[in-house]
Amino acid sequence: MAARVLRPLPRPKPYNRLQIILQHLKISKQTDSTAEVLLEKKGGAGIITLNRPKALNAVNLSMIRQIYPQIKTWEKDPETFLIIIKGTGGKAFCAGGDIRAITDAGKVGNKLAQDFFKEEYTLNNAIGTCKKPYVALIDGITMGGGVGLSVHGHFRVATEKTVFAMPETAIGLFPDVGGGYFLPRLSGKIGYYLALTGFRLKGRDVLKAGIATHFVDSEKLPALEKDLIALKSSSKENIADLLNSYHMKSQADQEKDFVLDEHMDKINSLFSGDSMEEIVKNLKQDGSPFAIKQLETINKMSPTSLKLTLRQLREGASMSLQDVLMMEYRLSQACMRGPDFYEGVRAVLIDRDQSPRWKPAALEEVSDEFVDDCFKPLGSNDLKL
Protein backbone atom coordinates (compact mmCIF):
# COMPACT_ATOMS: atom_id res chain seq x y z
CA MET A 1 0.00 0.00 0.00
CA ALA A 2 1.48 3.32 -1.05
CA ALA A 3 2.42 5.69 1.70
CA ARG A 4 0.08 8.69 2.03
CA VAL A 5 1.60 12.05 1.24
CA LEU A 6 0.76 14.47 4.03
CA ARG A 7 -0.03 17.91 2.73
CA PRO A 8 -0.47 20.99 4.87
CA LEU A 9 -4.14 21.77 5.47
CA PRO A 10 -5.46 24.77 3.53
CA ARG A 11 -5.99 27.90 5.55
CA PRO A 12 -9.67 28.39 6.48
CA LYS A 13 -11.29 31.05 4.30
CA PRO A 14 -13.63 33.64 5.69
CA TYR A 15 -17.38 32.92 5.48
CA ASN A 16 -18.14 33.68 1.84
CA ARG A 17 -20.67 33.20 -0.95
CA LEU A 18 -19.09 29.89 -2.01
CA GLN A 19 -19.70 28.39 1.43
CA ILE A 20 -23.30 29.60 1.30
CA ILE A 21 -23.74 27.97 -2.14
CA LEU A 22 -22.18 24.71 -0.90
CA GLN A 23 -24.48 24.75 2.11
CA HIS A 24 -27.49 25.20 -0.22
CA LEU A 25 -26.31 22.30 -2.39
CA LYS A 26 -26.04 20.16 0.72
CA ILE A 27 -29.62 21.11 1.63
CA SER A 28 -30.84 20.26 -1.89
CA LYS A 29 -29.61 16.69 -1.44
CA GLN A 30 -32.28 16.20 1.20
CA THR A 31 -35.08 16.55 -1.34
CA ASP A 32 -35.47 12.86 -2.21
CA SER A 33 -39.11 11.82 -2.22
CA THR A 34 -38.73 9.24 0.58
CA ALA A 35 -37.45 11.71 3.20
CA GLU A 36 -40.01 12.53 5.94
CA VAL A 37 -39.20 16.22 5.67
CA LEU A 38 -37.70 18.04 2.69
CA LEU A 39 -35.49 21.07 3.28
CA GLU A 40 -34.72 23.19 0.22
CA LYS A 41 -33.40 26.61 -0.65
CA LYS A 42 -35.10 28.30 -3.61
CA GLY A 43 -34.21 31.89 -4.38
CA GLY A 44 -34.29 33.76 -1.09
CA ALA A 45 -36.67 31.27 0.52
CA GLY A 46 -35.96 28.35 2.82
CA ILE A 47 -38.70 25.78 2.19
CA ILE A 48 -39.75 23.09 4.68
CA THR A 49 -42.01 20.39 3.23
CA LEU A 50 -43.60 17.85 5.58
CA ASN A 51 -43.51 14.64 3.57
CA ARG A 52 -45.45 11.86 5.31
CA PRO A 53 -48.66 12.02 3.24
CA LYS A 54 -49.83 8.53 4.27
CA ALA A 55 -49.62 9.63 7.94
CA LEU A 56 -51.24 13.00 7.07
CA ASN A 57 -47.78 14.56 7.62
CA ALA A 58 -47.85 13.84 11.37
CA VAL A 59 -44.64 15.21 12.85
CA ASN A 60 -42.24 12.82 14.59
CA LEU A 61 -39.04 13.35 16.56
CA SER A 62 -36.68 12.79 13.64
CA MET A 63 -38.53 15.47 11.62
CA ILE A 64 -38.35 17.91 14.55
CA ARG A 65 -34.60 17.22 14.80
CA GLN A 66 -34.16 18.18 11.14
CA ILE A 67 -36.46 21.22 11.07
CA TYR A 68 -35.17 22.96 14.22
CA PRO A 69 -31.46 23.30 13.27
CA GLN A 70 -32.44 24.26 9.70
CA ILE A 71 -34.61 27.14 10.92
CA LYS A 72 -31.74 28.30 13.12
CA THR A 73 -29.30 28.11 10.17
CA TRP A 74 -31.62 30.02 7.83
CA GLU A 75 -32.19 32.63 10.52
CA LYS A 76 -28.46 33.45 10.48
CA ASP A 77 -28.02 33.15 6.69
CA PRO A 78 -27.95 36.62 5.05
CA GLU A 79 -29.09 35.05 1.76
CA THR A 80 -32.31 33.61 3.25
CA PHE A 81 -35.09 36.20 3.44
CA LEU A 82 -38.07 34.11 4.45
CA ILE A 83 -39.11 30.59 5.50
CA ILE A 84 -42.07 28.71 3.99
CA ILE A 85 -43.55 25.55 5.53
CA LYS A 86 -46.06 23.30 3.74
CA GLY A 87 -47.26 19.69 3.55
CA THR A 88 -47.48 17.15 0.71
CA GLY A 89 -50.31 14.88 -0.42
CA GLY A 90 -53.17 17.35 -0.79
CA LYS A 91 -55.07 16.19 2.33
CA ALA A 92 -53.16 17.66 5.24
CA PHE A 93 -50.68 20.33 6.24
CA CYS A 94 -49.98 18.33 9.41
CA ALA A 95 -52.56 16.32 11.36
CA GLY A 96 -50.59 16.41 14.62
CA GLY A 97 -47.72 14.81 16.49
CA ASP A 98 -46.78 11.15 16.20
CA ILE A 99 -49.03 10.15 19.11
CA ARG A 100 -48.63 6.39 18.62
CA ALA A 101 -44.85 6.57 19.11
CA ILE A 102 -45.24 8.72 22.24
CA THR A 103 -47.84 6.31 23.67
CA ASP A 104 -45.58 3.29 23.16
CA ALA A 105 -42.64 5.14 24.73
CA GLY A 106 -44.62 6.49 27.69
CA LYS A 107 -45.99 3.07 28.61
CA VAL A 108 -42.50 1.65 29.14
CA GLY A 109 -40.93 4.81 30.55
CA ASN A 110 -38.85 5.37 27.40
CA LYS A 111 -37.05 8.73 27.26
CA LEU A 112 -38.81 9.53 23.95
CA ALA A 113 -41.87 10.58 26.00
CA GLN A 114 -39.72 13.37 27.46
CA ASP A 115 -37.58 14.15 24.41
CA PHE A 116 -40.48 14.47 21.97
CA PHE A 117 -42.32 17.13 23.99
CA LYS A 118 -39.12 18.95 24.97
CA GLU A 119 -37.87 19.20 21.40
CA GLU A 120 -41.30 19.87 19.87
CA TYR A 121 -41.91 22.79 22.25
CA THR A 122 -38.37 24.10 21.62
CA LEU A 123 -39.22 24.11 17.89
CA ASN A 124 -42.55 25.88 18.58
CA ASN A 125 -40.58 28.57 20.43
CA ALA A 126 -38.05 28.87 17.56
CA ILE A 127 -40.98 29.52 15.19
CA GLY A 128 -42.53 32.03 17.61
CA THR A 129 -39.26 33.96 17.94
CA CYS A 130 -38.01 33.51 14.33
CA LYS A 131 -36.28 36.66 13.05
CA LYS A 132 -37.04 35.82 9.41
CA PRO A 133 -40.62 36.09 8.10
CA TYR A 134 -42.25 32.66 8.45
CA VAL A 135 -45.11 31.68 6.13
CA ALA A 136 -47.17 28.55 6.87
CA LEU A 137 -49.37 27.27 4.04
CA ILE A 138 -52.00 25.44 6.12
CA ASP A 139 -53.78 23.69 3.25
CA GLY A 140 -55.83 20.73 4.54
CA ILE A 141 -55.94 19.17 8.02
CA THR A 142 -54.07 21.28 10.59
CA MET A 143 -54.41 19.90 14.11
CA GLY A 144 -52.38 19.60 17.32
CA GLY A 145 -48.70 19.46 16.41
CA GLY A 146 -49.49 20.95 12.98
CA VAL A 147 -50.95 24.00 14.70
CA GLY A 148 -47.69 24.31 16.67
CA LEU A 149 -45.71 24.38 13.40
CA SER A 150 -47.81 27.22 11.98
CA VAL A 151 -49.75 29.38 14.43
CA HIS A 152 -46.72 31.00 16.12
CA GLY A 153 -45.27 32.20 12.80
CA HIS A 154 -45.86 35.61 11.23
CA PHE A 155 -48.20 34.47 8.43
CA ARG A 156 -50.70 31.58 8.27
CA VAL A 157 -52.41 31.07 4.93
CA ALA A 158 -55.63 29.02 5.09
CA THR A 159 -57.52 27.62 2.08
CA GLU A 160 -60.99 26.16 1.48
CA LYS A 161 -59.47 22.77 2.38
CA THR A 162 -58.16 23.83 5.83
CA VAL A 163 -59.58 21.95 8.81
CA PHE A 164 -58.34 23.30 12.16
CA ALA A 165 -58.82 21.66 15.55
CA MET A 166 -57.18 21.14 18.92
CA PRO A 167 -58.82 17.79 19.78
CA GLU A 168 -56.56 16.75 22.67
CA THR A 169 -59.14 16.60 25.49
CA ALA A 170 -60.63 13.59 23.66
CA ILE A 171 -57.39 11.61 24.08
CA GLY A 172 -56.54 12.49 27.67
CA LEU A 173 -54.09 15.23 26.72
CA PHE A 174 -54.48 19.05 26.53
CA PRO A 175 -54.12 21.59 23.69
CA ASP A 176 -50.35 21.91 23.90
CA VAL A 177 -47.73 23.25 21.40
CA GLY A 178 -48.38 26.73 22.80
CA GLY A 179 -52.19 26.39 22.87
CA GLY A 180 -52.08 28.01 26.30
CA TYR A 181 -50.65 31.10 24.58
CA PHE A 182 -52.65 31.56 21.37
CA LEU A 183 -56.08 30.17 22.38
CA PRO A 184 -56.89 32.58 25.24
CA ARG A 185 -55.79 35.46 22.98
CA LEU A 186 -58.50 34.75 20.40
CA SER A 187 -61.62 36.93 20.44
CA GLY A 188 -63.94 36.50 23.46
CA LYS A 189 -64.02 32.91 24.72
CA ILE A 190 -63.56 31.26 21.29
CA GLY A 191 -60.21 29.80 22.38
CA TYR A 192 -61.70 28.23 25.52
CA TYR A 193 -64.54 26.78 23.46
CA LEU A 194 -62.16 25.30 20.85
CA ALA A 195 -59.84 23.92 23.54
CA LEU A 196 -62.48 22.21 25.68
CA THR A 197 -64.74 20.84 22.92
CA GLY A 198 -62.20 20.19 20.13
CA PHE A 199 -64.58 21.93 17.70
CA ARG A 200 -63.37 21.90 14.07
CA LEU A 201 -63.12 25.11 12.08
CA LYS A 202 -63.07 24.83 8.30
CA GLY A 203 -61.92 27.00 5.42
CA ARG A 204 -62.49 30.74 5.77
CA ASP A 205 -63.71 30.26 9.38
CA VAL A 206 -60.07 29.58 10.36
CA LEU A 207 -59.34 33.15 9.21
CA LYS A 208 -62.46 34.60 10.84
CA ALA A 209 -61.52 33.01 14.19
CA GLY A 210 -58.15 34.80 14.06
CA ILE A 211 -56.03 31.65 13.62
CA ALA A 212 -55.08 32.26 9.97
CA THR A 213 -53.86 35.66 8.78
CA HIS A 214 -54.85 35.16 5.09
CA PHE A 215 -57.16 33.06 2.93
CA VAL A 216 -56.11 31.91 -0.55
CA ASP A 217 -57.71 29.38 -2.93
CA SER A 218 -55.87 26.06 -2.67
CA GLU A 219 -55.18 25.90 -6.42
CA LYS A 220 -53.40 29.27 -6.23
CA LEU A 221 -50.82 28.13 -3.64
CA PRO A 222 -48.18 27.01 -6.20
CA ALA A 223 -48.35 30.46 -7.86
CA LEU A 224 -48.18 32.18 -4.45
CA GLU A 225 -45.15 30.11 -3.48
CA LYS A 226 -43.44 31.00 -6.78
CA ASP A 227 -44.10 34.70 -6.17
CA LEU A 228 -42.81 34.48 -2.60
CA ILE A 229 -39.60 32.82 -3.83
CA ALA A 230 -39.18 35.52 -6.51
CA LEU A 231 -39.47 38.44 -4.07
CA LYS A 232 -36.32 40.54 -4.36
CA SER A 233 -36.75 42.20 -0.98
CA SER A 234 -38.55 40.02 1.53
CA SER A 235 -39.44 42.42 4.28
CA LYS A 236 -42.50 41.53 6.33
CA GLU A 237 -44.30 44.41 4.60
CA ASN A 238 -43.51 43.08 1.10
CA ILE A 239 -44.64 39.58 2.06
CA ALA A 240 -47.82 40.95 3.65
CA ASP A 241 -48.54 42.97 0.47
CA LEU A 242 -48.13 39.87 -1.71
CA LEU A 243 -50.30 37.71 0.58
CA ASN A 244 -52.92 40.47 0.71
CA SER A 245 -53.05 40.64 -3.10
CA TYR A 246 -53.82 36.88 -3.28
CA HIS A 247 -56.21 37.12 -0.34
CA MET A 248 -58.20 39.90 -2.03
CA LYS A 249 -58.64 37.81 -5.20
CA SER A 250 -60.15 34.83 -3.36
CA GLN A 251 -63.93 34.67 -3.59
CA ALA A 252 -64.56 31.26 -1.94
CA ASP A 253 -67.16 31.44 0.89
CA GLN A 254 -66.68 35.20 1.10
CA GLU A 255 -70.38 35.85 1.76
CA LYS A 256 -70.76 33.13 4.40
CA ASP A 257 -71.16 34.17 8.03
CA PHE A 258 -68.61 32.91 10.55
CA VAL A 259 -69.85 29.48 11.69
CA LEU A 260 -69.82 30.54 15.36
CA ASP A 261 -71.34 34.01 14.83
CA GLU A 262 -74.83 33.08 15.96
CA HIS A 263 -73.43 31.36 19.08
CA MET A 264 -70.83 33.95 20.13
CA ASP A 265 -72.91 35.50 22.92
CA LYS A 266 -73.54 32.06 24.40
CA ILE A 267 -69.89 30.99 24.01
CA ASN A 268 -68.70 34.19 25.73
CA SER A 269 -71.08 33.82 28.67
CA LEU A 270 -71.24 30.04 29.12
CA PHE A 271 -67.49 29.42 28.76
CA SER A 272 -66.46 32.24 31.11
CA GLY A 273 -66.80 30.10 34.24
CA ASP A 274 -63.88 29.97 36.69
CA SER A 275 -64.07 26.17 36.91
CA MET A 276 -65.17 23.26 34.73
CA GLU A 277 -67.99 22.56 37.17
CA GLU A 278 -69.21 26.15 36.70
CA ILE A 279 -69.06 25.86 32.88
CA VAL A 280 -71.06 22.59 33.03
CA LYS A 281 -73.57 24.25 35.36
CA ASN A 282 -73.88 27.22 32.94
CA LEU A 283 -74.55 24.85 30.02
CA LYS A 284 -77.15 22.86 31.98
CA GLN A 285 -78.95 26.00 33.14
CA ASP A 286 -78.95 27.49 29.64
CA GLY A 287 -80.63 24.41 28.20
CA SER A 288 -80.60 25.65 24.57
CA PRO A 289 -79.93 23.12 21.77
CA PHE A 290 -76.43 24.65 21.40
CA ALA A 291 -75.70 24.32 25.14
CA ILE A 292 -77.00 20.72 25.26
CA LYS A 293 -74.78 19.80 22.30
CA GLN A 294 -71.70 21.25 24.04
CA LEU A 295 -72.60 19.41 27.22
CA GLU A 296 -72.78 16.11 25.31
CA THR A 297 -69.35 16.79 23.78
CA ILE A 298 -67.74 17.79 27.09
CA ASN A 299 -69.15 14.68 28.79
CA LYS A 300 -67.13 12.52 26.37
CA MET A 301 -63.83 14.23 27.21
CA SER A 302 -61.33 13.26 29.89
CA PRO A 303 -62.36 15.07 33.10
CA THR A 304 -58.68 15.41 34.02
CA SER A 305 -57.85 16.90 30.61
CA LEU A 306 -60.72 19.38 30.87
CA LYS A 307 -59.53 20.67 34.26
CA LEU A 308 -55.88 20.90 33.14
CA THR A 309 -56.91 22.68 29.93
CA LEU A 310 -59.09 25.30 31.58
CA ARG A 311 -56.34 26.23 34.03
CA GLN A 312 -53.69 26.11 31.27
CA LEU A 313 -55.61 28.73 29.26
CA ARG A 314 -56.53 30.91 32.23
CA GLU A 315 -52.88 31.07 33.32
CA GLY A 316 -51.47 31.23 29.79
CA ALA A 317 -53.56 34.32 28.98
CA SER A 318 -51.05 36.53 30.82
CA MET A 319 -47.82 34.55 30.22
CA SER A 320 -45.12 34.79 27.57
CA LEU A 321 -44.93 32.04 24.94
CA GLN A 322 -41.77 30.74 26.64
CA ASP A 323 -43.43 30.49 30.05
CA VAL A 324 -46.48 28.82 28.49
CA LEU A 325 -44.33 26.17 26.80
CA MET A 326 -42.47 25.52 30.07
CA MET A 327 -45.84 25.10 31.85
CA GLU A 328 -47.09 22.83 29.07
CA TYR A 329 -44.01 20.62 29.33
CA ARG A 330 -44.86 20.02 33.01
CA LEU A 331 -48.42 19.13 31.99
CA SER A 332 -47.20 16.79 29.24
CA GLN A 333 -45.17 14.82 31.76
CA ALA A 334 -48.13 14.70 34.18
CA CYS A 335 -50.21 13.20 31.33
CA MET A 336 -47.47 10.63 30.64
CA ARG A 337 -47.74 9.54 34.31
CA GLY A 338 -51.54 9.23 34.38
CA PRO A 339 -53.85 6.64 32.78
CA ASP A 340 -56.09 8.86 30.63
CA PHE A 341 -53.65 9.57 27.78
CA TYR A 342 -53.07 5.86 27.11
CA GLU A 343 -56.77 5.08 27.45
CA GLY A 344 -57.73 7.95 25.14
CA VAL A 345 -55.25 6.89 22.45
CA ARG A 346 -56.52 3.29 22.74
CA ALA A 347 -60.17 4.33 22.34
CA VAL A 348 -59.70 6.90 19.58
CA LEU A 349 -56.68 5.77 17.57
CA ILE A 350 -55.98 2.07 18.25
CA ASP A 351 -59.19 0.09 18.99
CA ARG A 352 -61.32 2.98 17.71
CA ASP A 353 -64.28 1.98 19.86
CA GLN A 354 -64.69 5.67 20.86
CA SER A 355 -65.54 4.51 24.40
CA PRO A 356 -62.72 5.61 26.69
CA ARG A 357 -62.96 4.67 30.37
CA TRP A 358 -61.57 7.73 32.09
CA LYS A 359 -60.04 7.61 35.58
CA PRO A 360 -61.38 9.55 37.41
CA ALA A 361 -64.63 9.36 35.45
CA ALA A 362 -66.23 12.58 36.79
CA LEU A 363 -65.06 16.20 37.06
CA GLU A 364 -65.78 16.39 40.80
CA GLU A 365 -63.41 13.46 41.36
CA VAL A 366 -60.46 15.42 39.89
CA SER A 367 -59.21 17.28 42.96
CA ASP A 368 -57.64 20.74 42.99
CA GLU A 369 -54.62 19.18 44.74
CA PHE A 370 -54.14 16.76 41.85
CA VAL A 371 -54.38 19.60 39.30
CA ASP A 372 -51.92 21.72 41.35
CA ASP A 373 -49.51 18.81 41.31
CA CYS A 374 -49.55 18.64 37.50
CA PHE A 375 -48.40 22.28 37.29
CA LYS A 376 -45.50 21.87 39.74
CA PRO A 377 -41.93 22.55 38.53
CA LEU A 378 -39.85 19.50 37.57
CA GLY A 379 -36.56 20.85 38.90
CA SER A 380 -33.66 19.85 36.65
CA ASN A 381 -36.13 18.13 34.28
CA ASP A 382 -37.96 21.38 33.47
CA LEU A 383 -37.96 22.62 29.87
CA LYS A 384 -35.32 25.31 29.39
CA LEU A 385 -35.77 27.80 26.57
Please give the positions annotated as active site. 97, 145, 168, 176
Question: Facing residues of 42 across strands?
Answer: 45
CA 248/CA 237 separation, integer angstroms: 16
Closest CA to 65 of 15, 13, 9, 115: 115
Q: Which residues, at least 6 apart from 102, have a Cβ–Cβ distance to it below 8 Å?
A: 112, 113, 116, 117
DSSP string computed for 80-104: --EEEEEESSSSEEE--B-HHHHHH
Closest CA to 120 of 142, 156, 96: 96
Q: Are strands 92-94 and 141-143 parallel, antiparallel or unpaired?
A: parallel
Q: 22: buried, middle or exposed (CB in 10 Å: 19+, 13-18, 0-12)?
A: exposed
Print burial letters for 224-246: b (CB count within 10 Å at least 16), e (below 16).
bbeebbebeebeeebbbebbeeb
8-state DSSP, 28: H
Taking CA atoms, 326 is separated from 120, 206, 321, 340, 384, in Å, by 12, 27, 9, 22, 7
